[in-house]
Each structure stands twice: as structure tokens, then as C-alpha cells.
């Protein structure tokens, strides 16, 4: 093709049709899905040092939790998504169904921990203010009542799971919820996560042994209310 011919409207139209046809064909044979699966999830950096949350959470816990536990969820999610792309490509419905729990667990683990790290801060603690405070007062009367409700829920989680402060879009209210294992809040309850407390033993056992209530009591000292408020603003605007 001569260079000047690319300015010919007929040539441009023909090229556009070819590109469109190619895209449709790629979509049809699953190549686009495979390409999407090649965009890997990555382990996000912590926004602070491993020892920054001491004494509330020890450096040893933070390092293991981030580099081993969260990293494993990310790796397993990437593997599962690649398998899912293959299964979708082959229309292998049994494999697609088998992969759903793996993706729920590891995808949930990745989502939950990505929220959790930012929910905490070495300069956290204290009490929320501004719009978040208004929202808490409108849903729980006061901050202490909200903290007590989440703490009670967190301590009561049987086995492994999470306690949450979530935003209900229908009512505009904040609500306390718990999820089992790594179930992510939004896909399993419809609530938008604002604050999550990880109550898996890996989150506290090295420091607090079996005394989960002490861990939950101390985690409030490093809660990043600024991040929680930003999540509330995004939830309201979504
Ligand atoms: Mn964890």
C-alpha cells in the first residue's frame, strides 16, 4: 500500500472493517480472554514499613502476612485466572465451575488484604471526624457504639474470617458485617467495604496467641480513619 493511499476514505473504511472483523474473530476464539489473563495481579507495596504498626501489630506478623499470605493469594489468583481463560476458551463448563471457589478464595484474599493494609496506618487511631463521623453517628449513635459492634462481631467470627464496616447503598447507612474465610464483602453481601479487620489467626497469633480480643482492642489504635473516610466518599459517589 502506498503511503498516500491511507488518506483515501475508501481505504480507511476497508481497513476499519478489517480491524473490526479481526477483533470479532479474536473475541470469538477467546484470544482476548487469554490476553486479559496475561495481565497479572501484583502484590501491592505496604504504604509503611513492616515495623511501623508496632506495638499494635508486630513487624514479624506484618512481614509474614504481606510477603507470604497475601503474596500467595495473588499468585494463586493469577494461576486460577489463566486456567479460567483456558476453560472459557474450551467451553469446559466443569472446569469453569471448579475454578469458582478458587477464585473466590484467592481473589477475595487479594481484595481484602489490599483494603486492610490501607485501613491501617502508623499515624492512625484516635477518632473519625467530618463526614465519616456524621455517618457513624447516623448509623450507630456514636463512635464507641460502632467500635463495640465491630469488635464484638470480630471476636465472634468462628474460625477464619473478617469483620467489616460497610456502606449500604440502598439505605445510605453504615453496617457491621462479618464474612467467612476470604469472602470479599461487596460480592457476597452487597455492602461496600470501608474498614475490614482480619481475624484469621495468621493476623495475630504470633503476638497475641489465642487472645483475639486483645488484638481487636489494639487494632483500633492504628485504624486509618482518613482512608475509611475516602472509601465512604467513593462509595457514596459510586
Ligand atoms: Mn490475612
Helix or strand or coil: residue 198?
strand
Helix or strand or coil: residue 202?
helix
Domains identified in the chain and CATH numbers = 8-119 (1.10.287.990), 130-237 (3.55.40.20)
Q: What separation in Å is there between the alpha carbon of 46 and the centre of ligand 1?
A: 14
142-191 residue pLDDT tens: 999 999 999 999 999 999 999 999 999 999 999 999 999 999 999 999 99
Q: What separation in Å is there between the alpha carbon of 191 and the centre of ligand 1?
A: 20
What pLDDT was estimated at residue 5?
45
DSSP state at residue 45: P
Q: What separation in Å is there between the alpha carbon of 201 and the centre of ligand 1?
A: 8
Given the C-alpha cell 465512604, which residue does it identify? Answer: 232
Q: What separation in Å is there between the alpha carbon of 65 and the centre of ligand 1?
A: 6
49/206 Cα distance (integer angstroms): 18
Strands (E) across the chain are located at 161-168, 173-180, 192-198
Nearest by Cα to 41 from 114, 91, 97: 114
Q: What separation in Å is there between the alpha carbon of 16 and the centre of ligand 1?
A: 49
Q: What separation in Å is there between the alpha carbon of 5 and the centre of ligand 1?
A: 59
Q: What percent of the chain has pLDDT over 90?
A: 83
Write out the residues surrounding ion ligand 1, Cβ under 5 A.
Answer: 198, 200
- The sheet carrying 161-168 orders its strands as 173-180, 161-168, 192-198
What pLDDT was estimated at residue 39?
85
68/184 Cα distance (integer angstroms): 19
Residues 6+ apart with CB under 8 A from 236: 167, 172
Q: What separation in Å is there between the alpha carbon of 76 and the centre of ligand 1?
A: 15
38-62 residue pLDDT tens: 689 999 999 999 999 999 999 999 9
Amino acid at each position: 500500500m502506498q503511503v498516500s493511499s491511507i488518506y483515501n476514505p475508501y481505504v480507511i473504511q476497508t481497513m476499519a472493517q478489517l480491524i473490526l472483523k479481526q477483533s470479532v474473530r479474536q473475541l470469538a476464539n477467546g484470544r482476548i480472554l487469554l490476553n486479559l489473563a496475561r495481565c497479572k495481579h501484583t502484590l501491592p507495596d505496604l504504604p509503611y514499613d513492616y515495623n511501623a504498626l508496632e506495638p499494635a501489630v508486630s513487624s514479624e506478623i506484618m512481614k509474614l502476612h504481606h510477603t507470604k499470605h497475601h503474596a500467595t493469594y495473588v499468585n494463586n489468583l493469577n494461576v486460577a485466572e489463566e486456567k479460567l481463560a483456558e476453560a472459557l476458551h474450551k467451553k469446559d463448563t466443569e472446569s469453569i465451575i471448579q475454578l469458582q471457589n478458587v477464585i473466590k478464595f484467592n481473589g477475595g484474599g487479594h481484595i481484602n488484604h489490599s483494603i486492610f493494609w490501607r485501613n491501617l496506618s502508623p499515624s492512625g487511631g484516635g477518632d473519625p471526624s467530618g463526614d465519616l463521623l456524621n455517618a457513624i453517628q447516623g448509623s450507630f449513635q456514636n463512635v464507641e457504639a460502632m467500635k463495640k459492634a465491630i469488635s464484638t462481631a470480630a471476636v465472634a467470627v468462628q474460625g477464619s474470617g473478617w469483620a467489616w464496616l460497610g456502606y449500604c447503598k440502598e439505605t445510605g447507612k453504615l453496617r457491621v458485617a462479618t464474612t467467612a474465610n476470604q469472602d470479599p464483602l461487596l460480592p457476597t453481601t452487597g455492602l461496600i467495604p470501608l474498614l475490614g479487620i482480619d481475624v484469621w489467626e495468621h493476623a495475630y497469633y504470633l503476638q497475641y496467641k489465642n487472645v483475639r480480643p486483645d488484638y481487636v482492642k489494639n487494632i483500633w489504635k492504628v485504624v486509618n480513619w482518613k482512608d475509611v473516610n475516602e472509601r465512604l466518599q467513593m462509595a457514596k459517589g459510586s
